[in-house]
Structure 1
Amino acid sequence: MCYNRNENRRHEHDCLMHVHDVEGPVQIGGRRNCLHFHCFDTTTSRGIPCGNCNHYHEVEFITDIVDCHCHKFCGRTGPAIQTGNGEHIHLIESVTCYCNGHKHCIKIATGTEEPIRC
């Protein structure tokens, strides 16, 4: 799903009118005596152009509650990575907000199925 700025603007618009499902666990973290992980499930924003031939998505979620706390994440995916057959994924490598004395690392990919068209 690569687009060229010199191509028809409608094609560019159509390429960005999709979202991705993102779900999974954040990495194990917490205080030494209370290691745990959280799960999340969300949908990205529509595609946002970056560079001459790629895009990213905004991502926001709040994890599930474990030991009376949760974590928030607000960030973005990396650029699209082609997986073949015209499909692509995006990687997210970051950390959640600090809560209850700790934060969690996030290393996950958006769904590998065909993006959801808006």
Structure 2
Amino acid sequence: MAEEGEDRHNHRFAGVTGQAIRSGNSHVHEIVFTHTDFLDHFHNLKRILTGPAISVGNGKHVHFVTGRTTLNDGHVHQFNFATAIQSPLT
């Protein structure tokens, strides 16, 4: 996560997607995680939904995710990432 502000730092987090939620001709997932820690502070992550499925071939797909953490210590973090494929080789 990139920071907005003077005190540059980043956070790491991991989550798990929930069941598929039908959305138009595709589907999205809710991502379940609560917070991200870095040294002496943390940010909460609100309910986050992925974007629709993006095919990567062989019947596999990923989802793009964008969002923002809660405000803590005077700043928030914007984030952009793609989900990973559970079994990319099978």
Query: TM class, shorter-chain normalised?
Result: 0.7 to 0.9
In the alignment, does 2:6 pair up with 1:70? no
> What RMSD, in angstroms, separates the aligned Cα atoms of the two structures?
1.7
Change (3 A) 1:67 1:30: farther
Q: Deviations over 1:2-28 (max 9, x none)?
A: xxxxxxxxxxxxxxxxxxxxxxxx22x
In structure 1, the partner of 2:55 is 82
Give CA-to-partner distance per residue, 1:38-84, whole Å, 9 cap, x none. 00011011110011x21000113211x22411112121000001110
Uncovered stretches (5+) of structure 1, i.e. residues with no partner? 1-25
Contact 1:57 1:76 in 2 (8 A): yes
SS in 2 for 1:88: strand
Gaps of 5+ in 2: none
1:31 alignment counterpart: 5
How many correspondences in the alignment? 86
Q: What percent of counterpart residues are identical?
A: 35
Structure number, greater radius of gyration: 1
Runs of 4+ in 1 over 6 A off after TM superposition: none
Which has the larger strand fraction?
2
Amino acid at match of 2:85: T
Q: TM-score, normalised by structure 2?
A: 0.85
1:97 to 40, 52, 70: 70
